[in-house]
Amino acid sequence: MSFSRRVLSALAATALVGIVAAQQVPPKPVPVPRPVVPDAPVPPPPDVDAKSWVLMDYATGQVLASKDPDLRVEPASITKIMTDYVISAELANGKIHMNDMVTISEHAWRGGGASTDGSTSFLKLNSQVSLKDLLYGMIIQSGNDSAIALAEHSAGSEEAFAGLMNAYAKQLGMVNSHFVDASGYPVDNHYTTAHDIAILSRALIHDFPDDYAISKVKEFEWNGIKQGNRNTLLWRDPSVDGIKTGHTAAAGFCLAASAQQGDARMIAIVMGASNEKARADSAMALLSYGFRFYETHKLYDAGKPLVTPRLWKGTENQLPLGVSDNVLVTVKRGDYEKLKATMDIPSTLIAPFSKGQQVGTLRITLDGQPVQNVPLVALNDAPQCGFFGRLWDSILLWFHHDSSADKGGTGK
């Protein structure tokens, strides 16, 4: 090979090596390990200026923090949350309608009208007002006259309506509440608790979301008079969308507030604060605390088998068990890994079972403390099998029980 050809070959080889080298991916730098930072401890709840208060997670109904949650207090206009719930239920049942025209009685005019000290929608005696306008007037303006007129139209009298309020309260599990009027005007034997109002607020949001949405409307005009919503948090935080304020000299300043951030919703109830600013600041502090330091997890899906134990004397040999509703739990941030679940199921299951029938209990605990107990239900119908099948399973069960006794399972 001539000298020139050798030089060209060498140059070509050098160029090829350069191309290959250029195409090689340089190794990734080894990341510097970061120190493991433990979760920050959850501080105690904020100091709240109120007689009693509750912070509740909407998704689970768990009370996350509270002070004297079952202390019986005067509810003032917080009462109107229950009036709203009853009216919403009656609307849903078709017993009354949004376009109903309601005559303003002397009782509504004199007991809650412009001549009184309380909040009013300025309804005129013997005038006719649509039920929708009355509902807006009660929720946004906190009109006592609107509340009384709604009660009379729905039940015939305010006294009869109070009976409805108490019936619905019992149905919702409000065990420490008793209502005498629809407006919250101070009367004997009219009381509730912060916990009961949290239960009621959660039910209103869940059961009647369209009617609940009225509580975030910032102002309402009726008969040429425009009034603003008394819940000042609606202007302070866009995540706040309800619920109701209340105040009398005896009750102090009260506020039921709710806010939603992403998929999370919190409910804060403040009863008996010292002034309007204190009730707003306290409710806002509680809502912020809940969003910052708590999180909700879905543990189990509704309708999916969690366990399939042996079924005796049935057309099938197994019975799928699960939960009727999604199992959600709210815990302090960082506590999710500490949750434990156990299932209590009878050792022997004998057909028949009906779909939805409770068979056992799913128990959720955190650090050994109960968090939730959820019914374990049959996910399918499980009818009995025929005579010979039941006879055969009876024989097998005899051996099964005998074997358990030999192992000491039934010994004393």
Asked whether 237 and 243 are in contact (CB, 8 A), the reply is no
Catalytic position from the list 52, 66, 80, 215: 80
Those residues whose C-beta lies under 8 Å from the C-beta of residue 373, and which sit 6 or more positions away, are 361, 362, 363, 364
Rg of the Cα atoms in the chain: 32
What is the Cα–Cα distance from 410 to 412, expressed in whole angstroms?
Answer: 7
Residue 357 identity (one-letter amino acid): Q
Catalytic position from the list 52, 66, 77, 154: 77
On the CB side of 396, how many CA atoms lie within 13 Å of its CA?
13
Those residues whose C-beta lies under 8 Å from the C-beta of residue 61, and which sit 6 or more positions away, are 199, 202
Whether 51 sits among the annotated catalytic residues: the reply is no
Whether 226 sits among the annotated catalytic residues: the reply is no
Whether 142 sits among the annotated catalytic residues: the reply is yes
Q: Is the peptide bond before 345 cis (omega within 30 degrees of 0)?
A: no
Catalytic position from the list 66, 119, 121, 142: 142
Asked whether 280 and 50 are in contact (CB, 8 A), the reply is no
353-376: string of b/e by CB count within 10 Å (b at 16+)? beeeeebbebbbebeeeebbebeb
- Residues designated as active site: 77, 80, 142
